[in-house]
Every structure is written in C-alpha cells, then in structure tokens.
Amino acid sequence: MSKPMRFTLKIWRQKNAQEPGHFETYEIDGISPDASFLEMLDVLNEKLIKEGKDPVAFDHDCREGICGSCGMFINGRAHGPLPNITTCRLYMRHFRDGETIVIEPFRAKPFPVIKDLVVDRSALDRIIQTGGYISVNAGSAPDANAIPIPKPVADRAFDYATCIGCGACVAACKNASAMLFTAAKVSHLALLPQGQPERRERVKKMVAQMDAEGFGHCSNTGACAVECPAKIPLTAIAQLQRDFIWANLTPDPYVR
C-alpha cells in the first residue's frame, strides 16, 4: 500500500474581484498518492469546514478532463507541472512528499477573479457567440458519406475541434493571448464544407471580439500549445492568420 503524503499548500485567497487577495499557507497530510489534485483540495476543504473556516473556492465539474472548468496555476504552470493535462487529471504522485505547492488562479486581465481560485472566463464565451457556429439551415442530418471530406482535412478539423475552452492557453501566454483558443474555434469550421458560407465573417467577427475583450497579441512563443490539455497545435493559429488576411483582402461571394 502506498505511503500517505503530506504537503504545504500556499493558496491564493481573495474574497471577490474588488478586494485584494493574498496567499494563505495550509499543512495537509494523509493524502494518498493516487488522489487527484482536486480530491486533495476536497480533503483540505473538509478540514477547513470542520475548523469553522471558509473553504477554498475552485472550479470543477466533470473531473474527467472534458469540461475545462478546473483551471488553476500550480507551481507557476497552468494546470500543473505536466504538459497537456487538466488539473483534475493531475495526481498527487506527481509531487514529492513534503513538497510546498503554490496554487493561484489564472492570471489574465480578461479573466477577473470571482473568488479564490475561480475566475470569470465568460470572455471566451463571448468570442464564440460572435461567430463560432454554423447558422445556415441545413435541414435534417445528411448521410455521413453525402459530402466527402478528405481524411487529412477531417483529421485536422477534429484536432482543432477538441478544444475544451479551459483558458490554459491564455494563462500560459506572457501576453495573455487567446489566439490558440480563437484559432481552434475558427479553424475547425473553416476546414469543413458546412462552414464555408460564413467563413469570412466568422474570422473577422471572432478576432474583433477577441481584441475587444482585452486579450494580448500573439508572439508565437508556443507556450499555449505546450499547456493545452487538448493538444491543439500551433497550425491552428497559422490557419486563422491565413483566413483573416484572406477574409479582409478578397470579396465574399456569399454576400450580394
């Protein structure tokens, strides 16, 4: 049986967006190496509640690496020390027994702190709302083979569509850029036949909304792709850049 572990946790505590935050230190032991990071925080919160203290607020939902809710900065990295992983899939065996772990919210101006480790990521939702969808009335679902799509194109579109919107790309970027997120949401539709009628307007509107939300510019350091749990490649950004230039320099055949 694995030996229980102990940790020193330095956690960012902040009552709301208006009040300044600070780090508080907690000692915790008896943690199984097979416990997930969120389960470890659950144990801490049970301890705090029993002591009559305010539990640490943090986002979570599916705990299966699908929903993208569990974003937090752990020891200076989005989602923790391992690349391409969500916080809920991070286990305590990935840390050393007795280690000090620093936990804080994603740091980005468009992601204001709601409480403790919880940030408001609705800016990403607003980018989607401006054009990250297909609004053309296509009728009932066609047969799967009705519109042939080359497998390399379909594979690339699927790779981009796997983005879970966690915001790790923004938190990892020194400029707090949302280019990888926006590129993934633009590019997977740009590659498919169904996405062609709104292709030009989609990229222009979504990039404009991204800028309006206050996200920084992309300087191509690649930190976003390293931390992305869905492993969205940087080629998504290249696809968005091509589409954006093309949309602004050529007439739209669908607009009469």
Same-domain check for residues 62 and 95 = yes
Domain extent, residue 31, equals 5-115
Q: How far apart, in whole angstroms, are the C-alpha atoms of residue 185 and residue 50?
A: 44
Same domain, 153 and 244: yes
Which amino acid appears at position 89 of this protein?
Answer: R
CATH code, domain with 106:
3.10.20.30
Rounded to two decimals, the pTM is 0.91
Q: Write the DSSP symbol of residue 84.
A: S
Q: Which of 70, 61, 21, 26 is nearest to 47 (CA)?
A: 26
**pLDDT score for 254:** 65
Q: For tokens 């970027």, name the residue.
A: 173
- Do 226 and 176 share a structural domain? yes
Which tokens is 236 given? 């998504």
Nearest CA among 204, 223, 207 for reference residue 215: 207
Contact in structure between 91 and 35 (CB atoms under 8 Å): yes
Q: Give the pLDDT of residue 253.
A: 73
4 within 8 A of 32, measured Cβ to Cβ: yes
Question: Domain check: are 90 and 21 in the same one?
Answer: yes
Which of 66, 81, 115 represents a domain boundary (last residue)? 115
pLDDT along the chain (256 residues), means of 10: 90 93 97 96 97 96 92 95 93 96 96 96 96 80 79 93 96 96 96 90 96 95 94 95 93 70
Alpha carbons 240 and 66: distance in angstroms, whole number: 24
Please tell me the predicted confidence (pLDDT) of residue 145: 75
Q: How far is it, in rounded angstroms, from Cα 104 to Cα 13?
A: 8
Q: What is the reported pLDDT for 1?
A: 57
pLDDT of amino acid 148: 86
Kindly state whether residue 254 falls inside one of the protein's structural domains: no
Number of structural domains found in the chain: 2
